[in-house]
Amino acid sequence: MSAWSQVTGNLLDPSAPSSYDFRARMHPFATCLEENMAHHSPTPVFAKPRRTTGTAVSPPAPNPRFIAPPQLPGGSLSLSLSAILPSALQTAAAAGKIVFHAFGDSGGVYGTQAQDAVSQALEDQINAADAQSVPQFLFHLGDVVYFNGEEDLYNAQFYEPYQYYNAPIFAIPGNHDGDTQVESGDPPFTDPYSLYGFMTNFCNLTGTPQFKYRPPMSQPYCYWSLEAPFVTFLGLYSNVDGSLDAPGSTTQADWFTAQLKAVPADKWLIVAVHHPCYSLDTVHGGYGSILEPLDAAFKAANRFPDMVLSGHVHDYQRFARMVGGTSIPYIICGNAGYANTEKLLHQLQPAVAKAHLPFQTVDQADLTLQKFDVTNSGFLRITAGVDELLCEYFAVPFSGSADIANAADSVSVPANQAKTP
């Protein structure tokens, strides 16, 4: 039995043990799923099977690619925000909270107009905030540089678009940051190894700046933890096709489980991973190859996160997953600049896009789609405080200016115990 089935039960098998009565909660679209199963439609051999409408997790890829990441460094893979911002703890303690930004999929390979507009909105929020609400950093959810994370493209796709963003930028890599396979028409890949650009610019332990206006970032590795006031980030690397580890290996999964066990109960816990567990878009869908090891780790550590953030899908989607009576937001924000026109954004399955929200997914009885945006660029502003974790989504239109004062969507997670800085 898979780790996912161990956690939730086999949602498609009514005889399997589960805390959910799947048939009692069956969505109208599930009729299509049952009919398809009843007719035993053959699985396509030469193509990706098309998901039934309302299905949030795609079938597994038979031949996923995995490129070995750089060698693990010795020592801890944890970084304290205070090492980068010495006043962070004092500032957060006085404010009773910490505020920060997040998004993914920003590299403006087709032009940086959308990326620049998002950057301008981030800067405007910093400038407009009162002293206690200034965003302290940006956490990038991967795909910093397209299409292969080349080090010589960081100036154009990363440093210059954010040269006025006066705060640290942390990151996890996405598939395009680590992929060494060059598509037709792309420039040749000349970096010495996978993730070379990412490691050079985000895991720079030499102290040598890579850009004239931004000090070097010294993250410990491509997967790592960020210890900040009120909140701990666990950032994962989901490789090229959505997997934590090579076949037969559990190195990253074991590290993740150990970190989950170590996170104090009086800290908010956010998990960041580029490939999403769930998605109702028409291109990618969610990744069971990420969902299963995450759930296995949550179960082994007896600790679920308070929020899961992802990119990869070029739009905004917010899901609510019910776990033991607690609603956990699973959020995709992958529309921060790569898609520089609405046509490049990933659209939802047509029937889902027209459905009433919240939308009950067909394959996940504990999961509903709460909100989405497939027409704008956008970013997240997150506030972690004593008794609330607040995530706000701000839309950035492709024409016109962004409304930085009024969120297009938001979700609040109440604390089950008071959090401390």
Domains with residue ranges and CATH for the chain: 3-60+88-414 (3.60.21.10)
Q: What is the pLDDT of residue 42?
A: 58
Residue 15: HSE in the Cβ half-sphere, 13 Å Cα cutoff: 0
Residue 10: pLDDT over 90: no
Burial 141-179 (b: 16+ CB within 10 A, else e): bbbbbbbbbbbebbbebbbbbbeebebbbbbbbbbbbbb
Give the C-alpha separation, 277 to 83, whole Å.
Answer: 31
pLDDT band at 37 (very low <50, low <70, confident <90, very high): very low
Distance CA 223, CA 273 (A): 9
Percent of the chain with pLDDT over 90: 85
pLDDT bucket at 185, cuts 50 / 70 / 90: confident
What pTM was computed for the model? 0.90
**Is the pLDDT confidence value at 1 over 90?**
no
Nearest to 336 by CA among 394, 413, 399, 268: 394
36 pLDDT exceeds 80?
no
- Given a contact cutoff of 8 angstroms between Cβ atoms, the answer to whether 144 and 174 are in contact is yes
The neighbour count for residue 360, using CB atoms within 10 Å, is 18
Q: How far apart are CA 180 and CA 338, in angstroms?
A: 19
Distance, CA of 256 to CA of 244 (rounded, Å): 10
pLDDT value of residue 187? 82
Rounded to the nearest integer, the mean pLDDT of the chain is: 91
**Cα 380 from chain centroid (whole Å):** 11
Query: Residue 280: what pLDDT?
Result: 98
Tell which residue, 234, 299, 374, has the closest CA to residue 2: 299
Which residues, at least 6 apart from 97, have a Cβ–Cβ distance to it below 8 Å?
A: 132, 133, 230, 383, 384, 385, 386
Residue 21's pLDDT band (boundaries 50, 70, 90)? very low
Q: What are phi and psi of 119, to 5 degrees?
A: -60, -40
**294-325 exposure pattern, b = at least 16 Cβ within 10 A, e = fewer:** bbbbbbbbebbbbbbbbbbbbbbbbbbbeeee
Task: Please determine, for residue 17, whether its predicted confidence score (pLDDT) is greater than 90.
Answer: no
For the cut 50, the answer to whether the pLDDT of residue 33 exceeds it is no
Q: What is the mean pLDDT of residues 266-289?
A: 98
